[in-house]
A = this chain, B = another copy of it.
Amino acid sequence: MKIDKKDIQRAEIFKVLSDPNRLQMIRILYQAHRELTCGEVGEKLDLSKSTVSYHFKKLRKVGLTNTRKEAQIKYLSINMDAFTEFLPFFLDTL
């Protein structure tokens, strides 16, 4: 049996969700109820700028977050549409 193309896509999203730091970033964005800058999010996690940038690129790539750039500042927000299906599963502690 050949690998289903759709499974590859889904697996990709799950891979992005398979890192505790990224899950925490998602929750921070979710709780904020507003756009946050990379710096704001990065501050709360004990991670270097480059690492935070790396993670956000991954989240963006699969459409879990939105990005808005204003001058040199980058505003992050959660893309609710991508989450509504299974958000309760991993945000159930909120």
B-binding residues in A (CB < 8 A): 1, 3-4, 6-8, 10-12, 14-15, 17-24, 27, 44-46, 85-86, 88-90, 93
Please indicate the chain B residues that have their CB under 8 angstroms from the CB of A14 in the complex: 14-15, 17-18, 90
Q: Which residues of B contact A7 (CB under 8 A)?
A: 20, 23-24, 27, 90
Shortest C-beta distance, A52 to chain B (Å), equals: 13
Q: Give A15 to B19 CA distance when docked, in angstroms.
A: 8
Name the contact of A3 in the complex, choosing from B12, B20, B93 (C-beta under 8 A).
B20
- Please tell me if the beta carbons of B4 and A24 are within 8 angstroms of each other in the complex: yes
In the bound complex, do residue B93 and residue A6 qualify as a contact, i.e. CB atoms below 8 Å apart? yes
Contacts of A22 in B (CB 8 A): 11
